[in-house]
Amino acid sequence: MAAGDAQALSDFYDEASRYVQTITLRILRDPDEAEEVTLDVFQQVWKLAGNYDPARCSVSSWIGMMARSRALDRWRSLQSRRRMLADEIPEGVEPVAPGVGAETELSSAQQRERVRSALSALPDEQRRMIELSFWEGLSHSEVSEKTGVPLGTVKTRIRLGMLKLKESLGEVRHV
CATH number of the domain encompassing residue 37: 1.10.1740.10
Domain match, 82 and 128 both: no
Domain assignment present for 19? yes
Task: Considering only CA atoms, give the Rg of the chain.
Answer: 18
Angle, CA 37 vertex, CA 34 and CA 43 arms, to 5°: 145
Domain match, 66 and 132 both: no
Domain assignment present for 38? yes
Highest mean pLDDT: which range of 33-47, 132-146, 157-171: 33-47
Domain final residue pick, 30, 58, 86: 86
Domain limits for position 142:
106-175
Domain match, 115 and 80 both: no
Domain match, 163 and 118 both: yes
Domain match, 63 and 113 both: no
Domain count, the chain: 2
Mean of the pLDDT values across residues 35-39? 93
Q: How far is CA 169 from CA 110, 116, 119, 152, in A?
A: 12, 10, 10, 25
Tens of pLDDT along 85-129?
A: 655 555 555 554 444 444 434 444 567 678 788 888 999 999 999
Domain assignment present for 100? no
Q: Does the predicted model carry a pTM greater than 0.75?
A: no
